[in-house]
Amino acid sequence: MRKRGLFSSKKGEVNEELFFFIAELILTVMVFVILLAYVNSIRDNTLLEKNYLARDVALMVDSVYAAPGKINVGYSFGSIDLLDFSFGFNEQRAGVLEENGEQTIKFPYADNKIFFSPLSIGFMRTGELIFIRSSNRLRIGGDIKENLNKIDCPVVETKEDKKRMIIDAGHGGSDSGFVNTNDALNESKITQQIARVFGLYMEDMKDEGFFVEFTRDVRYDSERPMDKRLLVIGQSSSNILISMHVGEDDEEINNIKAFVPFESKKSVKLACNIINSLLDEYDDITGASIIPSEDIILQKPVSVLLELGNIQADKDILNKKDKTALSIIDGIKDYFE
């Protein structure tokens, strides 16, 4: 008699198929469970990373607010790729959002509302967060730069529809001012050339409400004595005066100075905006200052006597007159914004 086994008959063949089906099913379930556990572990790890990053960048904001002086610092984390996340700052919360856009984690920071404008920055992705604090603002981004040598400008309303100004190109003609000892370059010609370029650019800005007049003819190095220039200033209806001069110092010195009337906040703001614009353009400036003065040329409500660079130094601020004129104009535009 034949022994009956599990697979020894047609019924056994059916049982064999059922066995393999059940085995495949169990294997499939096991693989699914393993994959699910793996996905959950990744999700949990991402959640932990988001919590960590939200707390860490919020603490970074607190630290930048609390630190003295001006700051430019980068934030990155070696074991975590910041590009896997997006970062936002709003309503005193640092937010971290993962790449697939699920579940934003937020953590509070102490917004310094007394001295700083509130942060409001939408979500961004970057491999490194840059924190820049200067003047009365905090900036956060991935690719931002700022010249921390700039002067902090006073906050005062200076918007005007009609922007009338008078430009005094210092000295003139036989009154040469300071003279370079090597190539006879003189202050009078430099201020005349900068003022001439300034006037040409301003011609194209009349539609923006700008009107400019000069204390002497700047088409060439004309001569007009100081008393005549003062008379022109006094008779002018312009309420802004900019007098252009060049300083003199040792060859290695390349400073900018701005002289303003005492107790004139608007003059300080204009001087500050012009100096900062020049600092943006030239990286070889060795110093910048705003100095209260009783110089007789400072007759208008808003008056600035600019001392540009050093006649004895071969520097771009005096050589590149187009750029210098444009930088002064950019500073003036900032003043009126």
pLDDT tens-place string over residues 167-190: 999 999 999 999 998 877 899 999
Instruction: Mark which of 78, 110, 141 sits at the end of a domain.
Output: 141
Distance CA 194, CA 171 (A): 13
Q: What is the CATH number of the domain that holds 240?
A: 3.40.630.40
Mean pLDDT of 267-285: 93
Residue 44 counted as domain residue: no
**pLDDT at position 234:** 95
Q: In what order do the strands lie in the sheet with 255-261?
A: 210-214, 163-169, 240-247, 302-310, 255-261, 287-293
Tokens of 309: 């660079």
Mean pLDDT of 244-272: 94
Domain identity same for 315 and 169: yes
Residue 42 binned pLDDT confidence (cut-offs 50, 70, 90): very low
**pLDDT at position 125:** 87
Instruction: Mark which of 141, 175, 208 sits at the end of a domain.
Output: 141
Residue 40 counted as domain residue: no
Neighbours of 51 (CB within 10 A): 13
Instruction: Mark which of 141, 175, 210 sits at the end of a domain.
Output: 141
Please report the beta strands in the chain, taking only residues with DSSP state E, as ranges in sequence order: 71-75, 85-90, 93-98, 105-108, 120-124, 129-134, 137-141, 163-169, 210-214, 240-247, 255-261, 287-293, 302-310
- Answer yes or no: pTM beyond 0.75: no
Domain identity same for 192 and 305: yes
Domain identity same for 71 and 205: no
Domain identity same for 328 and 198: yes
Torsion from C-alpha of 259, 265, 269, 275, nearest 10 degrees: 20
Of 244, 221, 247, which Cα lies nearest the Cα of 313? 247
Domain identity same for 169 and 137: no
Residue 273 binned pLDDT confidence (cut-offs 50, 70, 90): very high
Helix, strand, or coil (residue 149): coil
pLDDT over 70 (residue 155): yes
Residue 264 counted as domain residue: yes
pLDDT over 90 (residue 229): yes
Residue 303 binned pLDDT confidence (cut-offs 50, 70, 90): very high
pLDDT over 50 (residue 44): no
Mean pLDDT, the chain, rounded, equals 85
pLDDT over 50 (residue 1): no
User: What residue type is 322 in one-letter code?
Assistant: D
Residue 9 counted as domain residue: no
Of 21-25, 114-118, 324-328, least confident by mean pLDDT is 114-118
Neighbours of 205 (CB within 10 A): 15
Residues 144/125, Cβ–Cβ less than 8 Å: no
Domain identity same for 116 and 189: no
Look up tokens 């949990």; give the residue: 44
Domain identity same for 322 and 221: yes
Top pLDDT among 1 and 152 is at 152
Distance CA 194, CA 306 (A): 12
Mean pLDDT of 319-330: 96
- Domain containing 105 equals 54-141
Q: How many domains does the chain have?
A: 2
Residue-wise pLDDT for 105-140, tens only, equals 898 887 665 556 677 888 888 888 998 887 667 888
Q: Which residues pair with 71 in a beta bridge?
A: 133
Residue 27 counted as domain residue: no
Domain identity same for 62 and 168: no
The b-or-e profile of 234-251 (16+ CB within 10 A means b, else e) is eebebbbbbbbbbbbbee
Domain identity same for 97 and 179: no
Residue 154 counted as domain residue: no
Mean pLDDT of 30-44: 57
Neighbours of 47 (CB within 10 A): 14
Look up tokens 């009337």; give the residue: 261
Residue 149 counted as domain residue: no
**pLDDT at position 36:** 57
Residue 43 counted as domain residue: no
Distance CA 270, CA 164 (A): 14
Of 89, 90, 80, 92, which Cα lies nearest the Cα of 47? 80
Domain identity same for 134 and 168: no
Mean pLDDT of 14-31: 71
Domain identity same for 135 and 168: no
Tokens of 93: 């919360």
**pLDDT at position 116:** 63
Residues 214/191, Cβ–Cβ less than 8 Å: no
Residue-wise pLDDT for 61-100, tens only, equals 888 888 777 788 889 877 788 888 889 888 888 999 876 6
- Tell me what percent of the residues of the chain surpass a pLDDT of 70: 84
Domain identity same for 273 and 322: yes
**pLDDT at position 221:** 94
